[in-house]
Amino acid sequence: MKKQQSVLIVEDDEWLAEQQSRVLTKAGYITTISPHAMAAIDAVDDVQPDVIVLDMLLTGSTAFGLMHELQSYGDTGSIPIVLCTNLAADISMDDVRPYGVMRILDKTTMVPGDVVTAVRSVL
Amino acid sequence: MNEQLVGGVLDDGLPSLIAAAHELKSPLALVRQLSLMMESGNVSDIERQRMLRQISLTSERALRLTGDLTRSARLDDALFELEPINPQELCKDIVHELRPLFAAHGSDIRLAPRTHPLLLVANRDLLRRIIINFTDNALHYGGENGIVEIQMGALQSGQVIRVGVRDYGPALSSDMWRSLKAKLMQAPQSVHARPQSSGLGLYIASQFAEAMHGTIGVTRHRNGATFYVDVSASNQLSLL
């Protein structure tokens, strides 16, 4: 039997995180939600996610701080990241690719299924 | 004053369109996501009810921001009546109004009890908007504990009344603390210049406080923060 893949959602908007979790769960993924970067670092150790869906503007620490931390370690540095942000238009893929970002989703234009498509595409 | 805030690109005296647009993006994006999800039909009745509730509460939150923006842009044109206000009664009403929003987030808001009444001088509408602004902020950043408390007390030998909103979120790092203090002092800036938040809500709150000859501030705790507004105490209480 195929192992269910795990997605860590790092999103400080509780209801948006719930919505992403809802969509990904319906698509067959196991999801964990972390509301901020510190919780996300703990969750990465605990659940060892296959993908991280990361909000760009996090409470307490920007996504860059978290991505930099993840890149510091060999095992976490290889986890693919899907950036999900209101600032997609201002972010260049070339700038964030070195941090493990493989897709950028624009929260203002995406449809619910886009997060599933993005996650699927990086696995 | 920051040129992006007043007299910006359009030179129309309105708060920065960039900052306002940035602050409104999140609730609008959430409402859109939830609506599209329901439209797809791939949700249960229970989920649908929950999502509808979230849509209405998120819309109300966005509308509060637009109301604050409008009021903020017209501060210079209006004379705000200052009157003696019992802050305990005002905050009771706010707690009553916001409790459903907090409950929907699995959180709670409460009012710290007081034995001695306080009376301050303020504009009821502006003070209410400041406190709601702080509670919205606390709800968003307050952490997993989920409790927000409105507290009040007298300072400076009873000359000043402080109304504070205490959250129990993660401790603020020194960098965040400096950034937050700066946001209390400055106009909001472009999201390019300051990526975490435009600080628009705090800036509006500081404008409202200023219009009542008051100030706002923030105190850092080991487990969270208190955002407060200081306004003059009313002398009427001493005459009672």
**Which domains does chain A carry?**
6-122 (3.40.50.2300)
**Tell me: the pLDDT tens digits for A52-67?**
999 887 665 678 888 9
Average pLDDT over every residue of A15-29: 96
**Tell me: the pLDDT tens digits for B34-50?**
999 999 988 999 999 99
CATH value of B83-239 in 1.10.3720.10, 3.90.180.10, 3.30.565.10, 3.40.50.450: 3.30.565.10
- Tell me which residue in A13, A59, A87 faces B191 most closely, judged by beta carbons: A87
- Tell me which residue in A62, A110, A112 faces B195 most closely, judged by beta carbons: A62
Q: Name the residue with higher pLDDT: A75 or A44.
A: A44
> A33, A11 in Cβ contact below 8 A?
yes
The residue behind tokens 């819309």 is B59
Contacts of A77 (CB under 8 A, 6+ apart): A70, A71, A100
Q: What pLDDT, on a 0 to 100 scale, did the predictor assign at position B177?
A: 59
pLDDT above 80 for A34: yes
User: How far are the Cα atoms of A7, A21, A78, B65, B127 from residue A123, in angstroms, in the given order?
Assistant: 11, 17, 11, 40, 51
- Containing H/E element for B154? strand B147-155
Strand, coil or helix: A53:
strand
**Tell me: the pLDDT tens digits for B95-146?**
999 999 899 888 899 999 988 889 999 999 999 999 999 998 888 776 566 7
Average pLDDT over every residue of A99-112: 94
Average pLDDT over every residue of A70-88: 89
Strands B147-155, B160-167: parallel, antiparallel or unpaired by DSSP? antiparallel
Q: Report the percent of chain A where pLDDT is more than 70.
A: 94
According to CATH, where is 1.10.287 located in chain B?
A: 17-73
Q: What pLDDT, on a 0 to 100 scale, did the predictor assign at position A27?
A: 96
Q: What pLDDT, on a 0 to 100 scale, did the predictor assign at position A26?
A: 95
Q: What pLDDT, on a 0 to 100 scale, did the predictor assign at position A64?
A: 82
Q: What pLDDT, on a 0 to 100 scale, did the predictor assign at position B10?
A: 36
Which A residues in the span 17-76 are in contact with B, Cβ-Cβ below 8 Å? 19, 22-23, 26, 35-36, 38, 56-57, 59-62
Find the largest Cα–Cα distance for chain B: 64
Q: Using H for helix, E for strand and C for coil, what is the string for B165-203?
A: EEECCCCCCHHHHHHHHHHHHCCCCCCCCCCCCCCHHHH
According to CATH, where is 3.30.565.10 located in chain B?
A: 83-239
Q: What pLDDT, on a 0 to 100 scale, did the predictor assign at position B194?
A: 30
Q: What pLDDT, on a 0 to 100 scale, did the predictor assign at position B13?
A: 44
Q: What pLDDT, on a 0 to 100 scale, did the predictor assign at position B12?
A: 44
DSSP assignment of B13-76: SPPPHHHHHHHHHHHHHHHHHHHHHHHHT-S-HHHHHHHHHHHHHHHHHHHHHHHHHHHHHTTT
Average pLDDT over every residue of A77-81: 93
**Tell me: the pLDDT tens digits for B132-178?**
999 988 887 765 667 899 999 999 888 999 999 998 876 555 666 56
Q: How many C-beta atoms surround the C-beta of residue B141 within 10 A?
A: 20
- Rounded-to-10 torsion of CA B63, B68, B72, B78: 100
Indicate the fold that domain B17-73 takes in CATH.
Helix Hairpins (1.10.287)
**Tell me: the pLDDT tens digits for B8-18?**
333 444 446 77
User: How far are the Cα atoms of B87, B94, B131, B198 from residue B81, in angstroms, in the given order?
Assistant: 16, 20, 18, 30
- Chain B residue at shortest CA distance from A16: B30
Q: Name the residue with higher pLDDT: B164 or B183.
A: B164
- Tell me which residue in A36, A60, A112 faces B37 most closely, judged by beta carbons: A112
- Whether complex ipTM tops 0.85: yes
Strands A30-34, A6-10: parallel, antiparallel or unpaired by DSSP? parallel
Quote the CA–CA distance of B64 and B68 in Å, as a whole number.
Answer: 6
Average pLDDT over every residue of B67-92: 85
| A-interface mutation test, from B26, B39, B107, most A Cβ less than 10 A away | B26
Asked if the Cβ–Cβ distance from B42 to A111 is below 8 Å, we say no
**Tell me: the pLDDT tens digits for B203-239?**
889 889 999 999 999 888 888 889 999 999 998 755 5
Quote the CA–CA distance of B234 and B230 in Å, as a whole number.
Answer: 13
B38 part of contact set with chain A, CB < 8 Å: no
pLDDT above 50 for B5: no
Strand, coil or helix: A8:
strand
